[in-house]
A and B are shown apart, each in its own frame.
Chain A
Amino acid sequence: MSKISRNHRDPTDDRDFRQFTRAFDRPIAPSRSFADALRQQLVQPSAPVPANHQPGRPPVTADSPPAVTFVDRRPWRVGFSILEIAATLLLISALALSAYVINAVGRPSTSIETLDGQSARLDSAATPQTLDSSAGVNWGGEEGRSQYYGDASVDTGETPSDVKIGDEGTTTVGPGLIVGDSWYGWTVRAGVDAFLRVNLATGETVWERPYRTWGTLASDGKRIFAFQVDVSDTPTPIPVALDMATGEIAWRGPALHPFATSFTVDESSIFPLDEGTPAAGAVPDVTYQPGETETISIDLTSDERGPVVAGDTVYFTDGRATTVALGTADGVERWRDDRSDDLPTVFGSGDQIHTPMGGTIVANDQYVLVRLPDDSIVSLDPATGEERGRSYKGGITDSSRIILGASLRGDRLVVLTAFSFVSADGPTFSSAVVSVLNAGSLEVLVTSDSVEGGAGFEMVVTDTSAFLLTLSEQQVPEMVEVDLTTGAVSEPFGTGQLVGQVQLSGSGDTLIAAMSSGTVLSFSMETHELLDRHRIQGGQPITLVGGPMPVVDGRPVAIWKVGPNAPFPQFPPATPLP
Chain B
Amino acid sequence: MKVHEDFETTADLYVAGALGPEERRAVEAHVAECGPCAETLGQARAFSQWLLGTLSPDGPPADLEDRILERLEAAQRPERKIPIGPILKTLGSLAAAGVLITLGSLFTGTEMRTEDPDTTVGSIVGSIPLMGEPLADSGETLPPPAHGVDKSRELKRRGDREEAPSELARAPGKPEVTSNQAAAEDTLTRRQAEREALFHKKDAVGLREGEKQRSSVHPVEPPRADLRKIIRNANLHLEVESYDAAYARAAEIALAEKGFVAGADTERLPNGKMRAKLTVRVPPERFEAALARLRELGTVRRQSITTQDVTKVYVDLEARLASKQALVERLKKVLAEAQGSVKELMEVEVQMGRTIEEIEAIKGELKYYDNLVGLSTILLELAEKDLGQPFEYVQTLQARLEMVARDPDAAYARAQAIVTEAGGQVVDSRMTRQADGSAQGLVQARVEAEKFPSVRQALRGLGHVKADTVNHQKLARGGREGAVRADAPVRREQAVVEILIAAPPVFFSRQAELTLESAGVEGSYQAVRRAFEQAGGQILEGSLTAQTTRASASVRAHVDAERFTAVFEELKKAGAVKAASTRLEVPPADPSGEPPLVRERAEIEVSIIPPPEILPEEHGLSRTIRDTVSGSLRGLLWSIEKLFVGASLAAPWIALGLGGWFLYRRLRRARAAAGARQ
- The finding on whether chains A and B are genuine partners in a shared complex, rather than unrelated, reads no
Q: Which residues of A contact B (CB under 8 A)?
A: none
Q: Which residues of B contact A (CB under 8 A)?
A: none
